């Protein structure tokens, strides 16, 4: 049966609103999902909210179920956990993750949802997209047993990388950030914390996730000879400077991009397999430390400006939905 829903739209850069949506009865190959939680990533999503997606990147930055076009009006988001209310018997009543924007109820192909394991709470499952990005970064970095690893930038993605890297036997993992309050986050994740100036060098791999030129520069400084920086930051329309003179060539350093939209060909995994792995990793309760606040859906138009401005500090901000 068809029904009414509500969705969050970016009406214009810096201004969001909740709009009514009409959701038809699902087609035979679809499921209808009632949203329980969505997550707001303070990185990419706030760049979208403030209209800072460069025009050259509009096609590449589209979310899988985005409606509208950049800069606005646009319905954007990709961290959604809900319950299947209509669809195949095998999925009815299941809690599922999908890459759908902030909307109370919606239809998607059944192939577009992934069942959340019973061992993973629904609120934690909103991190699946972020953990998937972290998995992809570590696949690109390919660290080995006993490696010296630094993650520069203790935001949502950097923290997820650190949590997974800490499970590799024998590694030295440092989470590096200018914010001393992130030390408690590092302790929860089971890794060391350090300010940039005190970080240990001779790293085999540095994952950069601070989205600053200073962070990328420090990442290069921390590398051992022939080490690699895996660049996870997305800078939007900001220009970035980086020292490619000095020690860069003499130490044969590498800067490698990593983006969740692609999987290294040699990895031999599908996107579905990568997402299922991310959800299995979320059995670890330490990931709850990445959810740093929550608000009801109706307050989202007021919450996003605060997240974008930094007046509401957050890693992942959880949005709770009414049963409607």
Verify that 259 and 138 share a domain, yes or no. yes
With respect to residue 271, please indicate whether it lies within any of the assigned structural domains: no
CB neighbour list of residue 280: distance below 8 Å, 6 or more residues apart? 117
In a shared domain, residues 212 and 227: yes
- How many structural domains comprise the chain? 2
Same domain, 137 and 122: no
Q: Is residue 235 located within the same domain as residue 309?
A: no
User: Is 277 part of any domain?
Assistant: no
Question: Is the link from the previous residue into 231 a cis peptide, with omega within 30 of 0?
Answer: no
Domain ranges, residue 174: 133-263
Sign of CA dihedral 59, 158, 189, 137: positive
Whole-number pLDDT of residue 1? 47
Position 153 in a domain: yes
Same domain, 139 and 185: yes
- Residues 95 and 38 occupy one common structural domain: yes
CA 173 to chain CA centroid, Å, is 20
Domain termination site, one of 263, 293, 311: 263
**How is residue 213 written in tokens?**
């030129």
- For residue 72, being part of any structural domain is answered with yes
**How does DSSP assign 185-241, residue by residue?**
HHHHHT-EEE-GGG----EEEEEE-S-SHHHHHHHHHTEEEEEEEEE----TT----
CB 43 within 8 A of CB 156: yes
| pLDDT tens figures, 121-150 | 999 999 999 999 999 999 999 999 999 999
- Cα-trace Rg, the chain: 20
Q: Are residues 98 and 33 in the same domain?
A: yes
Residues 37 and 122 in one domain: yes
Residue 10 CB neighbours (<10 A): 26
Q: Answer whether residue 274 is part of any domain.
A: no
Question: Within a domain: residue 275?
Answer: no
Same domain, 173 and 243: yes
Tell me the helices (H) and strands (E) count for the chain, helix number first: 8, 17
Residue 99 — φ and ψ, nearest 5°? Answer: -95, 50
* Farthest CA pair distance, the chain: 66
- Regions of the chain short of the pLDDT cut 50: 1
Q: Is residue 10 part of a domain?
A: yes
Q: Is residue 113 domain-resident?
A: yes
What pLDDT sits at residue 2? 54
CATH of the domain at 152: 3.40.50.720
Do residues 142 and 123 share a domain? Answer: no
Here the CATH number for the domain that contains residue 21 is 3.90.180.10
* Bridge partners, residue 275, by sequence: none
For residues 233 and 211, the answer to whether their CB atoms sit within 8 Å is yes
Question: What local confidence, expressed as pLDDT, does residue 25 receive?
Answer: 95
User: What is the tens place of the pLDDT at every residue in 29-64?
Assistant: 999 999 999 999 877 899 899 999 989 889 988 999
302/218 same-domain check: no
On whether both 145 and 92 belong to a single domain, the answer is no
Q: What share of the chain is helix, strand, coil (3-state, %, to 5)?
A: 30, 30, 40
Predicted confidence at residue 57, as pLDDT, reads 86
Residue 307 main-chain phi, psi, to 5 deg: -65, -40
Q: Model's pTM, two decimal places?
A: 0.90
Task: Find all residues with CB under 8 Å of 160, minimum gap 6, and list them.
Answer: 127, 130, 131, 133, 134, 287, 290
Find tokens 């009406």 and name the residue: 11
Q: Is the dihedral of CA 13, 309, 243, 203 positive or negative?
A: negative
């Amino acid at each position: 049966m068809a029904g009414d829903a509500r969705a969050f739209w970016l009406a214009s850069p810096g201004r969001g609103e909740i709009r009514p949506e009409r959701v038809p009865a699902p087609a035979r190959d679809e499921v209808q999902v009632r949203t329980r939680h969505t997550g707001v990533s303070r990185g990419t999503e706030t760049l979208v909210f403030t209209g800072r997606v460069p025009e050259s990147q509009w096609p590449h930055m589209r979310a899988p179920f985005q409606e509208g076009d950049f800069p606005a009006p646009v319905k954007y988001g990709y961290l959604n956990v809900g319950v299947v209310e209509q669809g195949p018997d095998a999925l009815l009543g299941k809690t599922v993750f999908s890459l759908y924007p902030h909307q109370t109820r919606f239809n998607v192909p059944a192939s577009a949802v992934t069942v959340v394991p019973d061992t993973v709470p629904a609120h934690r499952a909103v991190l699946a997209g972020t953990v998937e990005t972290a998995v992809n970064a570590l696949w690109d970095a390919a660290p080995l047993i006993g490696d010296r690893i630094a993650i520069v930038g203790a935001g949502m993605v950097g923290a997820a990388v650190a949590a997974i890297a800490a499970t590799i036997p024998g590694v030295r993992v440092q989470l590096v950030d200018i914010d001393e309050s992130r030390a408690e986050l590092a302790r929860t994740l089971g890794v060391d914390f350090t300010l940039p100036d005190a970080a240990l060098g001779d790293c085999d791999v540095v994952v950069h996730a601070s989205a600053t030129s200073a962070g990328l520069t420090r990442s290069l400084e921390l590398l051992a000879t022939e080490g690699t920086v895996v660049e996870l930051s997305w800078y939007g329309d900001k220009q970035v400077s980086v020292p490619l003179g000095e020690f860069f060539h003499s130490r044969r350093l590498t800067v490698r991009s990593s983006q969740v939209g692609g999987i290294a060909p040699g990895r031999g995994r599908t996107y579905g397999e990568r997402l299922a792995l991310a959800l299995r990793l979320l059995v670890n309760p330490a990931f709850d430390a990445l959810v740093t606040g929550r608000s009801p859906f109706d307050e989202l138009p007021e919450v996003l400006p605060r997240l974008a401005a930094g007046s509401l500090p957050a890693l992942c901000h959880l949005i709770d939905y009414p049963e409607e």
